[in-house]
Every structure is written in C-alpha cells, then in structure tokens.
Amino acid sequence: MNFSWQTNLDQAIDARAKQVIAVRRHIHTHPEASGKEYRTSRYLCQLLGEHGLDPQIGPDGRGLIVDSCKTDCEKIALRADIDALGINDAKDVAYRSRHDGLMHACGHDVHAAILFGAILALVDLKNAGQLPWPTHVRGVFQPAEETAMGAAEMVAAGALKGVQAIMALHVDPTMTVGTVGLRNGVATAHCDELDIVLTGRGGHAARPHDTEDPIAAASQLINSLYLTIPRVTDSQDAVVISFGRIAGGKHSNVIPEQVHLWGTLRTLDTAVRKRSKNKIHQICQGIAASTGVSIDAKIVQEIDSIYNDAAIVELFRGVSGELLGPGQVVQIPRPSMGSEDFSVYLKHVPGAMLRLGTASPGKEKTPLHTASFDVDEEAIAMGTKILARSVVAWSQPRIVSGQSPKPAGLEK
C-alpha cells in the first residue's frame, strides 16, 4: 500500500513517541538555569550523535546546532529553548524536578523534546527515501531564553548561516490538547528590562530627617511609574510596567544608602515604547529632585516583539488544519504582552511561532511560570507532527522559489 508522506511521517513520529516523552521527562527532572545549560546540552548532543547526526555545541558549551544534511544546502531552521526558571517544582509526579529552586515552568523541556523528535523523524524518512522532495532542516536548541540573551548568542555562533526561514512553537496551557493558536504580524510585546539604582544618604531609622532615604524614594518611584505611565498613554495602546525585584538594606533599624530595582516595560507599538521610556526618565528626574536621592535608570536589555510572517502562518494553518481539523486552529485575537527572544532570529530571516494547546480536557489549567505547571503529554506528538510536516511543506520546490504557500496546498 502506498502511503502519503504525511502518513509516513506521522508513523515515524508515533514510533518514537515513548522515546520523545522520555527525553522531555529527563530534561524536566534535571532543569538548568539560564546560562548554565551544560548538562542539558551534552545530553541532547549525545542522543543526537547516537542517531548518526553531528551536532555542534553552542557558545560556552551551551546550546546545540544540528543539521539533517552535511552539505551546504538551503534549509529551514526549527528552534527550541532549553533553560529553566527559578521556581520550586510543586508537582507530585515521577519526573518532578530534582533540583530545588529550579523548574521547567515554561515548557522549554517540551519544546526541546518536540524538536528532537521532529529532526529524527525527518531523518528517518530521508534515510528510507520517503520524503517527496529534498528537505533539509537545522535544529537550534537555544540556551538562555528566559534572560533574553540566548538567541543573540546562537545567531552570533552561526545558527542562521544558510537558513532561509525559521519556525518554532510555544506551549499554551490556556488551550486544550488538539488545538493550536495562530496570529499574523505582531504576536508578542516589546520588552525592555529596567535596572534602576537609587543612591541616598543612610542613617539611623529613628532619625530619617538626617538621611536622604532611598527606600522612601523607591516607593515613590514605583508608585509614580505604576500610576503615571498608563495615564499618559492612550487607553487603546497597551503598556505594562512591572517590578519583580527590590533589594536594599540589611537591618530594620538602618536606612540604607542604596536601593536597587529591577523590572520590565512592555509595549506593542514602537512610538508608545519610545514615549514610555522617555517618561520613565522624566519621572526619575522629578523624584530625584524632590527627595535628594540620585536615581540612575538604565534599559539593560531590549527585546523586540515577534512579528510572524504571513506566509509561514498560512503554512502552519494548512498543516495544522489537515492534522487536527480546521476547527481546531484558533485565531489569536490579540498579541501577548509576554516577550520571547525568538524575535531576534526574525531580524535576519522570516519565521513564525505557533501556540500549541497543552491543557488536559476537563482538568484544572496550570499557568506558565507557576510551581504547578505541567502539560498533557498527548500534545508532544501533535507538536512534533506539526513542525515536521511544516518543514516538508515549506521545502516543496514552489515554496523555496519564493512563491507563497497555499494554506491547504500540501501535496500527498
């Protein structure tokens, strides 16, 4: 019996389903923080090497780049991230994190396992002569996504050399297994990381009049920013400023000399982004003048929004609808105010990110970045099939030549 390439590809993925889930669970059990992903990188490198591939370890021994072909050929890249978050895993499961204070609470373990499975399935079909046309893929296992530094490191290491486009997915626990979300154009927010240092004159807590209190100034600053930034922005333009860390002082009865604040500014519009940054500096200057505390406000990290390529989104739509049913492909109505350094790759090549539903039907949903986060592992095979099928569909000769892919025009 002659099967379509889609059927052959799905069967190759199903045959490795247990192995891919085992990879996910291993990574989940052994999480590593951003910038420390050495064991995870070596683990994936060894596994891929055992299957005849020649992965290259990324900068500083973190991350991987692996090609399905050794020749200098046109290819599309698939990207996954591999770092974990500083959260204590509260789940009662066999694959619970064994490292206190570290957890894969954003699905990066799932992303890595899906990329691993997709590459092996494509290599399986290539070796069996079952691919309908030349199909070449590069896997990019990226470190340090949570600190928004890893994508730039991988690009500098040559991750996009010879690459014409890039695809990725992200788990979405707000959607049930068997559904995917797509959006053209702007999909995530610009994210600017704030680093603010307030320096005053410390002293005894009983005599604040003899000090220039940086804690009092910091509280005024946070309150002013939270109240003012939304009020000077058109209510129809999204802007979110939040502080996630404050450090200052060691004793309850000592006013310190310095307070340090870390936070983020998130916007969707470039003009709003610029105005908000200017307003932050104006507010800092005003509070510094009124309190006598010097305020040094810096933007230490700038990540642009993800801008999904329309043609690749339509390719995702056709592949996902064919696999899951058209009714299971959801149009995402608004951009997320979250951020993703996948946007760094999109400065160089067109690409898109798909949202993969991972919530179990009828069960309580566990949000991203929480101690209870987990996924329904049925989604792993679905995500693997979508990415692998999308690679083959993109590689179809008429698509590589620059013509837009047909939403449902995927030859059997």
Total domain count, the chain:
2
* 40 and 70 part of one domain: yes
Ramachandran bin of 162, using left for φ above 0, alpha for ψ from -120 to 50, beta for the remaining angles: left
* 287 and 335 part of one domain: no
Ramachandran bin of 343, using left for φ above 0, alpha for ψ from -120 to 50, beta for the remaining angles: alpha
Half-sphere exposure of 202 (CA within 13 A, CB side): 14
Among candidate residues 303, 326, 354, the one where a domain is terminated: 303
* 346 and 373 part of one domain: yes
- Please give the C-alpha separations between residue 396 and each of 75, 207, 400, in angstroms, as whole numbers: 11, 75, 6
Q: In CATH, what number is assigned to the domain containing residue 58?
A: 3.40.630.10
* 50 and 162 part of one domain: yes
Q: Determine, yes or no, domain membership for 408.
A: no
Return the amino acid letter for 297.
A
Question: From first to last of its 412 residues, what are the pLDDT tens digits of the chain?
Answer: 457 999 999 999 999 999 999 999 999 999 999 999 999 999 999 999 999 999 999 999 999 999 998 777 889 999 999 999 999 999 999 999 999 999 999 999 999 999 999 999 999 999 999 999 999 999 999 999 999 999 999 999 999 999 999 999 999 999 999 999 999 999 999 999 999 999 999 999 999 999 999 999 999 999 999 999 999 999 999 999 999 999 999 999 999 999 999 999 999 999 999 999 999 999 999 999 999 999 999 999 999 999 999 999 999 999 999 999 999 999 999 999 999 999 999 999 999 999 999 999 999 999 999 999 999 999 999 999 999 999 999 999 964 444 444 444 444 4
18 CB-near residues (< 8 Å, 6+ apart):
none
CB-CB contact of 217 with 187 (8 Å)? no
Among candidate residues 236, 271, 303, the one where a domain is terminated: 303
The end-to-end CA distance of the chain, in Å, is 14
Q: Determine, yes or no, domain membership for 183.
A: yes
- Please give the C-alpha separations between residue 363 and each of 54, 88, 226, 376, 383, in angstroms, as whole numbers: 41, 22, 35, 10, 20
* 262 and 290 part of one domain: yes
Half-sphere exposure of 57 (CA within 13 A, CB side): 13
Q: Determine, yes or no, domain membership for 412.
A: no
* 17 and 140 part of one domain: yes
Q: Determine, yes or no, domain membership for 410.
A: no
Q: Determine, yes or no, domain membership for 407.
A: no
* 157 and 218 part of one domain: no
Residue in the structure block whose two tokens are 């990415």 = 387
Q: Model-level pTM greater than 0.95?
A: no
Q: Determine, yes or no, domain membership for 139.
A: yes
CB-CB contact of 201 with 374 (8 Å)? no
Q: Determine, yes or no, domain membership for 225.
A: yes
| Domain extent at residue 161 | 5-187+305-400
* 46 and 161 part of one domain: yes
251 CB-near residues (< 8 Å, 6+ apart):
none
Among candidate residues 273, 288, 303, the one where a domain is terminated: 303
Q: For residue 124, give the 3-state DSSP assignment.
A: helix
- Please give the C-alpha separations between residue 36 and each of 32, 133, 144, 240, 244, in angstroms, as whole numbers: 6, 39, 8, 30, 22
Report the C-alpha gap between 3 and 1 in whole angstroms.
6
* 336 and 272 part of one domain: no
* 153 and 244 part of one domain: no
Return the percent helix, strand and coil in the chain, to nearest 5.
Answer: 40, 25, 35
Q: In CATH, what number is assigned to the domain containing residue 199?
A: 3.30.70.360
